Amino acid sequence: MEKYFYFGEATVETTGESAMFPLSSLLGMTPSGAAGTKLHFAARNGSLNDDTVEMEHAGKTPKEFATEIAGILQRNTRSPFLIVSDGGSGKHALRHAKVTTLSVTTA
């Protein structure tokens, strides 16, 4: 069964900042500041530009955040959805980092 990352910010109903990507499309992560990380996914429309999710997070450096994301990928969960951030409901798979802002860019 394919698994999916889900990202949504606290005010998704008014901003539309949310996305769901299959785990198989994750290309990598890059730091975007002292407390920020950008996740790169293969473009859903087949273009050469990556789809990205940029997150600012509290309590962890980008390296620690990437380690926590890797831990999520290794968990044996029955749910096909890994909720990385769902600000509206407060649900998330992260144990030690709090996502403070989220930006989704699709090609």
- Per-residue pLDDT tens over the stretch 13-45: 555 567 788 989 999 999 998 889 999 999 888
Q: Which of 3-12, 20-29, 46-55 has the lowest mean pLDDT?
A: 3-12
Q: Pairing state of beta strands 81-86 and 36-41?
A: unpaired
In the chain, where are the structural domains located? 4-105
Whether residue 12 has pLDDT greater than 80:
no
Per-residue pLDDT at 29 = 93
What pTM, to 2 d.p., does this model score? Answer: 0.77
* Cα radius of gyration rounded to whole Å, the chain: 13
Does residue 52 or residue 48 have the better pLDDT?
52
* Environment class of 93 (CB within 10 Å of its CB; exposed 0-12, middle 13-18, buried 19+): buried
